[in-house]
Amino acid sequence: MHRALQLAALGPATGPNPRVGCVLLDPQGRTGAEGHHRGAGTPHAEAAALADLAARGGSAAGWTAVVTLEPCTHTGRTGPCAQALVAAGVHRVVIADTDPNPTAAGGAQLLRAAGVDVETGVLAQRARSLNERWATAVGRGRPWVTWKFAATLDGRSAAADGTSRWITSAPARADVHRLRAEHDAVLVGTGTALADDPALTVRRPDGTDATGPQPLRVVAGLRELPADARLRDGRAELLHLRTRDPHRVLTTLAEREVRTVLLEGGPALAAAFARAGLVDEVVAYLAPALLGAGPAAVADLGVSGIAGALRLDLAPGEDAVARLGDDVRLTARPRARPAGERDPDPSHPPVVEEAARVHRDR
């Protein structure tokens, strides 16, 4: 299973599907074939491993499949993996984690009904961590939202005159592009789009676009974007959602199978998502500088007293606090609401109040 998890991690961190790895063991317990999922439309891990074995001239009859996620029962771009394992004659399947997707779940039950010996829960937590964002998005029916911002130690995203180039150091700015590459979509409001004219692409330190797929560029708001805006340059797909409602934004993105969203700006948009309870993780890049005045990193959260503060806990893992040049990156997650406290009512969502800002690191 450790090897299957290594294989799973080779798969893309973005896209509508989870990262899955599979190892096929012969009756003597020796590895005979391996496979992992390489992205939407490609064979799933189990099918890839079976194809690897077939290419070697082998048969999986009487073999054991070790897989990091419950084999699917769904026919989509590819066929159901549980059926493929049964058809191949696999006699035992060891599964790390169950599938939270109701459309694809039920593989373990199908395998058992076919007479296959099934064991679940082997290194389940490691497998769950590998697909945490995907599983959360599937379970909630809306994308995982990471809110990223850069600020001075006194919480300013720009100076009083609107300038912000550069608040953070080159290592921190490079890390933002790594973060973008880990998300399906990057989201800003029309205020930021008009004020900054951002590109919102994943770029190398020299400014050229990185290889590989670019995230979907999403703008939320009612105002029109200029014809010559950089967001219209064709370097990546642009989606303009003419709404200020965070719930409607995420519903539309979920319909497009977007699993992860990087919320980059501006402070009004961030506040709307935070007040709606739609932020899953906060990544803050803090520069050792003081401005004393200028736009804040986030707008009004509706907090009137310290008791109402939106509290966060550092994310699990050793890199929750990291030094990047002279800056510090903090990764934190909102605390679970106390028992009995209701989630924000989606029928009365906060909306984004349009506000221009300047944040040239786009």
Query: Is the Cβ–Cβ distance between 98 and 105 less than 8 Å?
Result: yes
Neighbours of 179 (CB within 10 A): 19
Whole-angstrom distance, CA of residue 263 vs CA of residue 185: 9
Q: Which helix (H) or strand (E) holds 175?
A: helix 170-181
46 included as an active-site residue: yes
Written as one letter, the residue type at 32 is G
Beta-strand ranges (E) seen in 169-274 are 185-189, 216-220, 238-241, 260-265
**Is it true that the peptide bond before 32 is cis, omega within 30 degrees of 0?**
no
Whole-angstrom distance, CA of residue 323 vs CA of residue 3: 31
DSSP 334-354: EPPPPTTPPPP-TTS---PPP
Query: Is the Cβ–Cβ distance between 130 and 5 less than 8 Å?
Result: yes
CA distances from 188 to 203, 216, 239, 262, 267 (A): 18, 11, 11, 9, 10
Among the listed residues 34, 46, 70, 264, the single catalytic one is 46
Catalytic residues: 46
